[in-house]
Amino acid sequence: MQDPDPRTLSGALQGDLGAFEDLVRLYQVEVWRYAYHLTGNRATAEDVTQETFLRAFRFLGSFRGEAKFSSWLLRIARNCSMDALRRSRDIPTPERAPIVATTPDPSLRAELLSAVRALSSGHREPFVLVEVFGLSYQEAADVLQVRVGTVKSRMHRARQVLIRHLTDEEAVDEA
């Protein structure tokens, strides 16, 4: 996730709606994708995305720059996602990501995504943040409010599980 133009961030912090809109444009896709990964539901991800930016606007004054703005924003998105899941009181049905026809082995990719969703939230969240969104361990730790070492070990564990899943699926295919 790219960093915002410092002037844009500064303007938003000073109450410029136009600047804040630029931040929305810069991050709304990533926020939606992150919310979709957490909730597994497109409609809920839309609600979470809107709520995330609304909260970010309300509490922009509390952003001190101790972490990256993107990390701060994803943390809000994570909290909103958890709130949405608690409100629904049902285990969300993960919507399946569509198969990308132009990429090699799209069915295997779809199978990986299913396996990612089957991970426990403790392993899935760091994996999504680091592997899918490209955050560093520190950034992911800021979002998840855990130690860097925890992110590191959970990433490793998630990789082990997913590698084994891919290996089993290929064994089935080859049979």
Q: How far is the CB of 59 from another protein (least distance, A)?
A: 12
Q: Binder to another protein among 75, 137, 146, 150 (CB under 8 A)?
A: 137
Q: Is 2 in the site for another protein (CB under 8 A)?
A: no
* Positions 99 through 118 that interact with another protein (CB under 8 A): 99-101, 103, 105, 107-116, 118
CB of 167 to another protein, least distance (A): 7
Q: 146-153: which pairs have CB atoms within 8 A and are 24 or more residues apart?
A: 150/126, 151/126
Helices and strands, number each (H, E), in the chain? 8, 0
Site for another protein, residues 145 to 164, rule: CB under 8 A: 152-153, 155-156, 159-164
| CB within 8 Å of 87: residues ≥ 6 apart | none
Structural contact between residues 151 and 137, judged by C-beta atoms closer than 8 angstroms: yes
Shortest gap between Cβ of 17 and another protein (angstroms)?
A: 6
Of residues 149, 41, 123, 19, the one with CA closest to residue 87: 41
Residues in 16-45 at the binding interface with another protein, rule: CB under 8 A: 16-22, 24-25, 28-29, 32-33, 36, 41-43
Least distance in angstroms from the C-beta of 142 to another protein: 15
Closest to another protein by CB, 3 vs 107, is 107
What is the distance between the alpha carbons of residues 122 and 68, in angstroms, rounded to a whole number? Answer: 22
